[in-house]
Chains A and B, each alone.
Chain A
Amino acid sequence: MRTGLAILPATTSVLQDPPSTLGARMQSLWPRVEPLLSQVTKPARYIGGELGARSPEHGCASLAWLLVYPDTYEIGLPNQGLQILYEILNERPDSVAERAYAPWVDMEAAMRRAGVPLFSLESTAAARDFDVMAFNLSAELVYTNVLNLIDLAGMPVRAERRGPDDPLVIAGGHCAFNPEPLADFVDCFVIGDGEEVVGEITDVLANLGADRAHASPPDDRTGSSHRGWAADRDGVLRSLSRIDGVYVPACYEAHPSGVVPRHDGVPDRVEKRTIGDLADWPYPKRQLVPLIEVVHDRLNVELFRGCTRGCRFCQAGMITRPARERPADQVRTMVGEGLRRTGYDEVALTSLSSADYSGIEGVVTSIIEDPACSGQVSVSLPSLRVDAFTVGISAQIQRVRRTGLTFAPEGGTWRMRQVINKLISEEDLYSAVDAAFSQGWRRIKLYFLIGLPTETDEDTLGIVCLAEQCVAIGLRYHKGVTVTASVGGFVPKPQTPFQWFGQNTIEELTRKIHLLRDASRGVRGLKVRWHDARATAVEGLLSRGDRRIGSVIEQVWRNGGTFQEWSEHFDVDLWRTALADHGGSFEDAVYRHRTEDEVLPWDHISAGLHRDFLWGEWLDALGAHGLPDCRWTPCYDCGACTGFGVEHVVASAVPPAGGSQGTGQDLASGGQVPVRFLPTAPSGADPAGRSEDRPVARAGEGRS
Chain B
Amino acid sequence: MPVRFRFSKLGRIRFTSQRDVARMWERALRRADLPVAHTRGFSPRPRLSFGLALPTGCESLAEYVDVVLDPDRPPVPDEEVGGLAPVVSRLLPEGIEVDAVGLVDRGAVSLQQEVTSCTWTIWFRAVTHSALGELVASMLAREQVPIVRERKGTSVLDDLRPSVLDLALLSPAEAPGAPTTEPVAGLMAELATRPRGVRPGELVSGLVAMGAGGGPAQPPVLDRACRTQQWIECDGERREPLGGRPGAAGRAPYALERAS
State the A residues within 8 Å of B (CB): 1-9, 11-16, 31, 37-38, 43-44, 46-49, 51, 289, 291-293, 340-345, 376, 400-402
Contacts and interface: CB of A to CB of B under 8 A. Distances in A.
Given A3-B171, A7-B121, A49-B94, 16 more contacts: A3-B170, A4-B255, A7-B226, A8-B59, A8-B176, A9-B258, A12-B10, A13-B178, A44-B16, A293-B23, A342-B31, A344-B30, A376-B38, A376-B44, A401-B42, A401-B43
A209 to B, nearest CB: 33
B153 to A, nearest CB: 16
Contacts of B10: 9, 11-12, 15
B57 A12 contact: no
A401 B39 CA distance: 12
B170 A16 contact: no
16 contacts: A5-B170, A5-B253, A7-B226, A7-B228, A7-B253, A8-B174, A9-B10, A15-B95, A16-B177, A43-B57, A44-B20, A47-B13, A47-B16, A289-B27, A343-B91, A344-B27
A15 B176 contact: no
A9 B13 CA distance: 16
A8 B226 contact: yes
Given A1-B168, A7-B226, A376-B38, A47 B12 contact: yes
A5 B189 CA distance: 12
Contacts of A49: 12-13, 93-95
A9 B38 contact: no
A185 B12 CA distance: 34
A13 B30 CA distance: 31
A47 B253 CA distance: 32
Contact of A13 (B44, B61, B177): B177
Nearest to B226: A8
B70 to A, nearest CB: 9
B94 A15 contact: yes
B24 interface: yes
Nearest to B120: A7
Contacts of B31: 340-343
A291 B24 contact: yes
Contacts of A341: 31
B28 A13 contact: no
Contact of B169 (A1, A31, A51): A1
B15 A44 contact: yes
B188 interface: yes
B256 interface: yes
B144 interface: no
Contacts, number: 124
A67 B29 CA distance: 32
Main secondary structure of the interface of B (DSSP, over half): mixed
Contact of B17 (A11, A38, A292, A343): A292
B146 interface: no
B23 A12 contact: no
Contacts of B228: 7
B23 A13 contact: no
Nearest to B21: A291
B93 to A, nearest CB: 6
Contacts of A3: 170-171, 174
A7 B27 contact: no
Nearest to A440: B42
B194 interface: no
B26 interface: yes
Interface string B147-166: 00000000000000000000
Contacts of A15: 10-12, 94-95
B138 interface: no
Contacts of B133: 1
B56 A43 contact: yes
**Residue in B13, B30, B93, B95 whose Cβ sees the most chain A Cβ within 10 Å:** B30
Given A15-B11, A345-B30, A293 B121 contact: no
Nearest to B35: A374
State the 4 A-B residue pairs at the shortest beta-carbon distance, nearest first.
A15-B11, A343-B27, A43-B15, A343-B31
Nearest to B73: A374
B28 A343 contact: yes
A291 B93 contact: yes
Contact of B61 (A9, A14, A291): A9
Nearest to B133: A1
Contacts of A400: 44
A13 B13 CA distance: 13
Interface in B30-55: 30-31, 38, 42-44
A211 to B, nearest CB: 40
B174 A5 contact: yes
Contacts of B226: 7-8
Contacts of A43: 15, 56-57
A344 B30 CA distance: 8
A46 B178 CA distance: 20
Interface in B202-260: 222, 226, 228, 252-253, 255-256, 258
Nearest to B228: A7
A156 to B, nearest CB: 32
A418 B228 CA distance: 67
B178 A31 contact: yes
A6 B171 contact: no
Tell which of B16, B26, B57 has the most Cβ of chain A within 10 Å. Answer: B16
Nearest to B59: A12
Interface string B118-142: 0001000000000001000000000
A38 B204 CA distance: 14
Contacts of A16: 11-12, 177-178
Contact of A8 (B26, B121, B168, B253): B121
Nearest to A2: B168
Nearest to A1: B169
Contact of A292 (B20, B42, B169): B20
A483 B255 CA distance: 60
Contacts of B42: 401-402
Contacts of A345: 26, 30
B234 to A, nearest CB: 24
Contact of B27 (A9, A47, A342): A342
Contacts of A11: 10-11
A305 to B, nearest CB: 28
Nearest to A3: B171
